[in-house]
Amino acid sequence: MRIGELAARAGTTTRTLRYYESRGLLPARRGGNGYRAYDEEDLRLLQQIRTLQEFGFDLEQTRPFVECLQAGHPAGDSCPASLDVYRAKLAELDACIDRLLEVRERVAGQLTRAEEDRDRLARAADAPDGPVPRCELTRAAEAEQD
């Protein structure tokens, strides 16, 4: 198949395919007419790359998976280098999750504090003596009105 058909079937652009080719991720075969020629295996490579990128892998991290497929393995993730990339990505994701949990805990703490402050001020405003003055100027102005 030609580059336009491969791009359409893979859900990408010809520009992206040329970029992958320049990075050595997609083989650059030419037909007798000089046009790029691709087959179903190339489509499979692209699908592997796209899936990994959807999972957050950068383009270079997809290389071991592509090489594993090109080496004839039925799944691009069964080679040792692919497994190493999976492990590294999981460690990266775990670190991100830990950081997000820390941030969530801090935001939850801030929310609790803010709600308690709001409730305390509301109770003070409902007290028989009226609201708590915010500053000395407010207290002096209220005294003059009485």
- Fold assignment, 3-111: Multidrug-efflux Transporter Regulator; Chain: A; Domain 2 (1.10.1660)
pLDDT above 70 covers what percent of the chain? 86
Encode pLDDT of 68-106 as tens digits.
Answer: 998 888 888 889 999 999 999 999 999 999 999 999 999
pLDDT mean across residues, the chain = 88
Encode pLDDT of 43-62 as tens digits.
Answer: 999 999 999 999 999 999 99
For residues 70 and 87, the answer to whether their CB atoms sit within 8 Å is no
For residues 7 and 14, the answer to whether their CB atoms sit within 8 Å is yes
Q: How confident is the model at residue 32 (pLDDT cuts 50, 70, 90)?
A: confident
Q: For the chain, what are the domain ranges?
A: 3-111
pTM for this prediction:
0.68
pLDDT of residue 77: 87
CA angle, residues 22, 44, 79, in degrees to nearest 5: 85
Question: Over 80: is that where the pLDDT of 140 sits?
Answer: no
For the stretch 58-92, what's the b/e string if a residue is b when 16 or more beta carbons lie within 10 angstroms of its beta carbon? Answer: eeebbbbbbbbbeeeeeebbebeebeebbeebeee
Q: Which residues contact 28 (CB under 8 A, 6 or more apart)?
A: 21, 36
Q: From 36, 15, 88, 19, select the one nearest 57 (Cα to Cα).
A: 88
φ, ψ of residue 30 to 5 degrees: the values are -120, 140
